[in-house]
Amino acid sequence: MSASINLICCSFSYVPQNSSKFKTLIRARNLSQQSPVLSKRTSNSSVFLKPNNRIALVSPFQQKGVLKICQSSLNTQNSEEEAGQDKGLSVDNGKEGRDWTTSILLFVLWGALMYYVFNLSPNQTPSRDMYFLKKLLNLKGDDGFRMNEVLVSQWYIMGLWPLVYSMLLLPTGRSSKNNIPAWPFLVLSFFGGVYALLPYFVLWSPPPPPVDENELEKWPLNFLESKLTAGMALAAGIGLIIYAGLANADIWREFFQYFRESKFIHIMSLDFTLLSAFAPFWVYNDMTARKWYDKGFWLLPLSLVPILGPALYLVLRPSLSDLPVTVSKTTSE
């Protein structure tokens, strides 16, 4: 009986617990806690709202010294559990805890970027752009024209970026709070680059779901988690960067001239820049998901180096099969 008593009149004389008035006060107090609407509707018959009664309804606006609320440890524990349950329901059902500011900003960025690509980007040499594209796709034979070395290097690096992002997003960049898969956007990124990945960045909702142990042995995770794949990506990136770095100043000036005139090269250069800018975040996300931040934090500044920094991280990161916290073992029935 004493554990449920949470109302003590401190400004008045002692009221025995077995008195009828005390029981009426406790009963009315419990009814007011269970149903606030009921206490308002029964204001005429409730003891708390009688005008001549010196005991007032407990509220944040009452005068100090009138009443003192003393809750038992049992009631406090129950109230904390109910608050935790209410908070969990609000997050799960309404998803009120998620901050949509980043998603909105990314969506605005994607919309502005698409408008710029289709309406504002330079397009002075469309016929030359088509010729360059056929040459880069090996659809034209050797006609004596030497392609710009920086342009060729950037073209092949753009083929490496989707592979690097696939290794960063699968599986630690998947969403657990929605049913939107990452692989369609990654497949489209081989053709559309960051313009195809940005919609997934908008819809992405962490944390990643657990990975089955059997899933790591199947395609594509067995390929994306392979150190051989990461090493090949790093070696190819080093070779392409060296190939562009050995070009003389005239070749670089020619490339910047292409950037100012060509729609194709202008869009590809923006794609390269944005993929390089987003890569450190996904390196950090993958690093924290693998519980490797304490040992691999020094790789975060290096991930700012285009293609080489993220590729180096992919070579050095621990395998998911060595992390029992991330990988969930499937039990046979």
Domain boundaries, position 172? 123-316
Q: Is 34 exposed, middle or buried (0-12, 13-18, 19+ CB in 10 A)?
A: exposed
**To 5 degrees, how large is the angle CA 290–CA 294–CA 300?**
80
Residue 130 lies in a domain: yes
What does the pLDDT average to over 261-287? Answer: 96
pLDDT score at 64: 42
pLDDT higher than threshold 80 for residue 27: no
pLDDT reported for residue 25: 52
Query: What pLDDT sits at residue 175?
Result: 82
Determine, yes or no, domain membership for 79: no
Assess whether pLDDT exceeds 90 at residue 284. Answer: yes
Q: Which residues pair with 176 in a beta bridge?
A: none
pTM > 0.75: yes or no: no
If you average pLDDT over every residue of the chain, what do you get? 77
pLDDT value of position 36: 40
Over the stretch 225-266, which tens digit does the pLDDT of each residue have?
Answer: 999 999 999 999 999 999 999 999 999 999 999 999 999 999
Residue 272 within a domain: yes
Cα 278 from chain centroid? 13
What's the whole-number mean pLDDT along residues 272-282? 97
Closest C-alpha among 163, 323, 142 to residue 237: 163
Give the contacts of 209 (CB within 8 A, at least 6 positions apart).
171, 174, 176
Alpha-helical regions (H) of 20-64: 20-34, 36-41
Specify the pLDDT at position 136.
Answer: 94
Q: Is residue 235 part of a domain?
A: yes
Confidence of residue 24 (pLDDT cuts 50, 70, 90): low
How many separate domains does the chain show? 1
Give backbone dihedrals phi and psi of 69, rounded to 5 degrees, phi first.
-90, 120
* pLDDT confidence band for 205 (50 / 70 / 90): confident
Tokens of 113: 């970027």
- Rounded to whole angstroms, the Cα distance separating 247 from 226 reads 33
Residue 111 included in any domain = no
Name residues whose C-beta falls within 8 Å of residue 177's C-beta, 6 or more positions apart in sequence.
95, 98, 205
Domain membership of residue 225 (yes or no) is yes
Question: What percentage of the chain carries pLDDT values higher than 70?
Answer: 67
What is the per-residue pLDDT for 323? 64
pLDDT at 84: 44
- Classify residue 83: in a domain, yes or no: no
The answer to whether residue 101 is domain-embedded is: no
Q: Are the beta carbons of 182 and 169 closer than 8 angstroms?
A: yes
The answer to whether residues 317 and 297 touch, using CB atoms and an 8 Å cutoff, is no
